[in-house]
Structure 1
Amino acid sequence: MNQCQNMTRRSALQVGLLGGLGLTLPGFLKLSAARAESNEKSKAKADAVLFLNLAGGVSHLDTLDRKPDAPADTQGEFKSIQTCLPGHQVCEYLPKYAAAADQFSLIRGISHSAGAHPQGQSWISTGNRPVPALIYPSLGSVVTKEISSKPDLPGYVAIPKTEWNAGYMGDAYAPFKTNTVPRPGQPFQVRGISLPDGLTIEKVNQRQELLTKLDRRFKTEATESQLLEALDKFGSQAYNMITSKRARAAFDVEQESSQLRKLFTPDEFSQSVFLGCRLIEFGVPFVTVTYQGWDTHTENFAGHRRLLPALDNGITAGLEMLKQKGLLERTLIVIMGEFGRTPKINVNAGRDHYPRVNWCLMAGGGVKPAKFIGGTTKAGDAPDENTNIKPDDIAATIYHTLGINPLTEYYTNTGRPTMLVPHGRIMSELFA
C-alpha cells in the first residue's frame, strides 16, 4: 500500500492546513517519513545536557575555525597552534582545548539569517526561526516537560541567568536562575534554597500547611490559567527545595573534593561550569551556563584575549569532571553562541555579527569524539559547498540524544498545533 493510501482523515486535514501554509503534498509526505524515522531512533543516549552559551557571538575565525591561508586582514592578530588532531589548528589562547580536542566533535559552517542577538539566541535555543506570531519554548523548557526530574530540584537551571524562556508553554516550565555564581572558598547561597536568618525548617513547614489550607478553601473551580499553573509549580518547588538537604547540597560546590575544585580556575565562567556539572550529578536534566561578552564590535582581539582563557579552562575542566564522576556518557555537552563574526575586521579593530557562519562543539552523550562535521570556505565567509547545517539541526540532534522526538507535536495556549523542530535534521553522523 502506498503512502497516499495510508493517509488518515486527520492526515488529509493536515495536508489541507499545511498547504495553506505553503507545504505541498510531497513536502508533507517527506515530513511524515522523517517523523517515522525519528520515532524509530528515539532511544535516549543521554539524560542530561550541559549547554555552554557563548552569548554575544564568538568569532569563529579567532577560535576553532582558523584560516591560516586567508589574507592578514581576515586572520587578525592571533597565532594558530596545532591540536592533538592532525590538521586541526586553533587559536593560541586555547592550549588546553588543543590538548583535549580528540575528546570533542566540532561542527562547522552552521548558518542562519538572524543577525540580531535576541533573534539569534531564540533560534539556537529553540531550533526554530523566530517569527512574531509565535514564541517557541527553549530546549530546557521542553526537557523539563518531557523528562522527569527530582521533586526537590528544578528540571532546568540557568547559571547565572538566561534570556531563554518557555514560550507558549508558560512560566511553569521557565528556568530556575541562580542569579549568582560560586566563588572559591566562600559559601554559595542561592535565593530560594538557602534559608534566611531566623527562618527555620519548622517555620517553613508551618507556612506550607497554612498555604495548603488556603488552597483547599479557595481553589473551588478548575482553571487552565498558565499563571496559576506556574504559581502552583513554583510554590511547590520552592518548598521542596528549601526543606531538602539534598537540594542544598547540590548547590554547595564546597563539598566537592579539593582535587576536583582545583581543575577550575576562579573566574565566573569556570566556576559556573563547576556548579553545572554538580547539578547534573544530582539529577538536574538541563543546565545552561551563559558566558557573556563576545559581542566584540570594537577591540575584538582584546576582548577574545580576555575571554578565551576562561573558556579554555571551563570546557576542558567540565569535561574532565564529568568523566571522573562517570557522567560523561550520559551527559551531552554543547558549546556555541548565536552566530559567528565577520571575516572582515572593521575600523574599530572589531568584528561584527555574522550569522552565515558559526561553530558548535559537542562531547559526551553518545557523540563520537574527534569528528569534524561540516566546513567553511578558505576565507571563512560561508559554509563550504558540502555543508548545509542550521540551528534547527543542532536542536533536533539534542532532542534526539535525550530520546525526545523533535517532531513531537505540542499545542499552544490558543490551540494551535506545532511541532518542536519541524525543519531540523538529526545529525546521525555525530554518533556513527
Structure 2
Amino acid sequence: MKHCDKITRRNVLQAGFLGGLGLSLSNFLNLSALNAETTGKKSSKADSVLFLNLAGGVSHLDTLDRKPEAPVETQGEFKSIQTCIPGHSVCEYMPKYAAMADQFTLIRGISHSAGAHPQGQSWISTGNRPVPALIYPSLGSVVSKEISSKPDLPGYVAIPKTEWNAGYMGDAYAPFKTNTVPRPGQPFQVRGISLPDGLTIEKVNQRQQLLSKLDRRFKEDSTESQLLEALDKFGSQAYNMITSKRARAAFDVERESSKIRGLFGTDEFSQSVFLGCRLIEYGVPFVTATYQGWDTHTENFAGHRRLLPPLDVGITAGLKMLKQKGLLERTLVVIMGEFGRTPKINVNAGRDHYPRANWCLMTGGGIKPGQFIGGTNKAGDAPDDKTNIKPDDIAATIYHALGIDPLMEYYTNTGRPTMLVPHGRIMRELFA
C-alpha cells in the first residue's frame, strides 16, 4: 500500500494559492518542511490512547446527561447525585465519578445517523460514515502505522477483543487481541506471549528459523502484497513477543504493586482497564478495552444497575493509575459507545438505539479537565441549538492530539486516494 504523507491534494491546493502570492513550488516545499517540524509529532499532546468502548450503546439519560426537567416517563427509575462540579448531576450509581468529575471533560450531544451497532461502531472507530464501497481503518490501525512502538510489543492491542479492523490498510495493522482478561490472584496468560509447558526459547528459535525458510519460499510464489505484509508482521511480532522478557513482563499483571491493583475491581471491565494502563506504561500507543452489554432493549434499568458500578470503578481507577505513574499527561483517555438510547421507555422497560444523542468522556493527553462541550435539549432527544458534534470530530481530535494530521491521505489497494477524516473538525476547545 502506498502512503502519501508528505504532499496531499490539500497541499497542492495550498501550493496553487501560494503561487498567486509569488511563492514557487520549492518555496512551498520548504515552508511545508518547516511546518512539519513545528507542528508534527513533536507538538503532539499525547503519545498514546486508551479507548474504553462501551459497546452496545450506553443510555445517555441514565448516566451523565440527566434531564431533571424531562417528563417522568423519560427520566426513568434512577436518582441523580451532585458531582464535585456545581450544577452537574449524574446517576446515583456513579459516585466515584461524581467525586472526580472535574478531572474529566464531558462532550454531550454527539449525533449521527447510524442506528445499527456495526455501523455505529464503524463510525466511532474510524471517524467516517460507513459506506458499502470502502472499509475505513480504525483509529488504532492508523496509530499503529504512524506512531512507532516497541519492536517486542504490538502497536495496537484490543482487550479482550474488538470488531474494529484495519480496513483498506490490510491485516498487518489489525489489532492484537488478548481474547482474555486478568483475574485477580491467577496467573495471566495470553496466547502468543506465554510459553506453553515444555516449550523453551531455544525451541522457539529453531521454529523461527524453519518459518523463515518457508516464508522465503512462499514469497517467491505469491503476489498478494497485503497478505505477505500481514504474515511478515504477525510472524516477527509473535517471535519478538515470545522471546522478549519485557513483553512478557508487560502482560504479567501480578508484578504490579498491590497498591495499584487495589484500585480496581475484580470484574472484567476493571481488569481490562488495569491491563490497558499497564500496556500504555510499557509503550503500546493504542489500546482498546471493550465493555459489552449496554444494548438494553429490555430491562434497561436492571442492566444499567449491573453495568454502572464496574464502569464507575474502572474509569476512575484507570485515571488514578495513570496519574500515579506520571502517564496521564501524555495518555489520551476516551470513553464512549456507538450511540445513546431513546428517551422513550419501551413496553419492555428498555430503551432502544438512539444515534441522535450520545456522550464522550475525555481526560489526559492535553485535555483541559472540568469542561462541558456541547449539550442536548431539555428532553434529551436531540443536540441543543448550539451543538453540532459528529463522531468525525471526535476522531479528528484524537488524531490531532497524537500529532497525526486528520487530513493525511492514504491510497487504498485499488489506488484510490482517501483522507483519514475528511469531514472532521478538530475540537481545539478541548485542549488546555
Q: Which residue of 2 aligns with 1:22?
A: none
2:300 aligns with 300
Q: Where does residue 348 of structure 1 map in the other structure? A: 348
Per the alignment, do residues 160 and 265 of structure 1 end up closer, same or farther by CA in structure 2, a change over 3 Å counting? same
Q: Secondary structure at the match of 1:90?
A: strand
User: Aligned letter for 1:329?
Assistant: E
Number of aligned residue pairs: 404
The Cα shift of 1:10 comes to 5.7
Paired residue secondary structure (1:219): helix
Q: How far apart are the structure 2 equivalents of 1:97 and 1:218?
A: 54
Deviation, 1:209, is 1.5
Determine whether 1:227 maps to 2:227. yes
Post-superposition offset of 1:143? 0.2
1:272 match: 272
* Corresponding letter in the other structure for 1:87: G
Deviation string 1:67-104 (CA, Å, 9 cap, x unpaired) is 01111000000000000001100000000000000000
> TM-score with structure 1 length normalisation?
0.91
Q: Which amino acid counterpart does residue 387 of structure 1 have in structure 2? A: T
Does residue 286 of structure 1 match 2:286? yes
The equivalent residue for 2:202 is 202
CA RMSD of aligned residues (A): 1.9
Unaligned 5+ segments in structure 1 are: 1-6, 15-34
Question: Which residue identity is paired with 1:94?
Answer: M
2:130 is equivalent to residue 130 of structure 1 = yes
Instruction: Please report how far the alpha carbon of residue 197 of structure 1 lies from its aligned counterpart in structure 2 after TM superposition.
Output: 1.3
TM-score (norm 2): 0.91
For structure 2, which runs of at least 5 residues remain unmatched after alignment? 1-8, 17-31
Counterpart CA distance in 2 for 1:207 and 1:8 is 48
Assess if the C-alpha contact under 8 Å between 2:102 and 2:370 holds in 1.
yes
Residue pairs, 1:13-92, within 5 angstroms: 41-42=39-40, 43-92=43-92
Measure how far apart 1:211 and its partner are.
2.0
Match of 1:156 in 2: 156
State the AA in 2 paired with 1:366: G
Measure the CA separation in 2 of the matches of 1:41 and 1:428. Answer: 14
2:363 paired with 1:386: no
Three-state SS of the structure 2 residue aligned to 1:162 is coil
- Larger mean CA deviation between 129-138 and 222-231 belongs to 222-231
Once residues 9 and 142 of structure 1 are traced to their aligned partners in structure 2, the CA distance between those partners, rounded to angstroms, is 21
- SS of equivalent residue, structure 2 residue 361: strand
Structure 1 position 192, deviation (Å):
0.4
Q: CA deviation at 1:237?
A: 0.4
Report the equivalent of 1:369.
369
Displacement of 1:224 in angstroms is: 5.2
What's the secondary structure of 1:49's corresponding residue? strand
1:140-178 CA-to-partner distances (Å, cap 9, x unmatched) read 000000000000000000000000000000000000000
- 1:306 and 1:420 map into 2 onto residues whose CA distance is 37
**Residue of structure 1 equivalent to 2:250:** 250
- SS in structure 2 at match of 1:360: strand
Structure 1 residues 41 and 205, CA, compared in 2 at 3 Å: closer, same or farther?
same
Amino acid in the other structure paired with 2:135 = I
Counterparts of 2:415 and 2:89 in 1: how far apart (Å)?
Answer: 50
The equivalent of 2:112 in structure 1 is 112
Query: Deviation digits for residues 248-307 of structure 1, max 9, x if unmatched?
Result: 110011100000000001000000000000000000000000000000000000000000
2:19 matched to which residue of 1? none
Q: How far is the alpha carbon of 1:228 from its aligned partner?
A: 1.3
Deviation at 1:196, TM superposition (A): 1.1
Whether 2:333 is the aligned partner of 1:333: answer yes
Name the CA distance, whole Å, in 2 between partners of 1:101 and 1:9.
41
Contact between 2:110 and 2:359, CA under 8 Å: does it hold in 1?
yes
Query: What is the CA-CA distance between 1:215 and the residue it aligns to?
Result: 3.2
* CA deviation map 1:202-240 (0-9, x unaligned): 000011122223334553478452111101110000000
**d(CA) in 2 for partners of 1:167 and 1:297?**
30
| Structure 1 Cα separation of the partners of residues 225 and 232 of structure 2 | 11
Give the share of equivalent positions with the same residue, in percent. 87
Distance in 1 between the 2:11 and 2:197 partners? 62
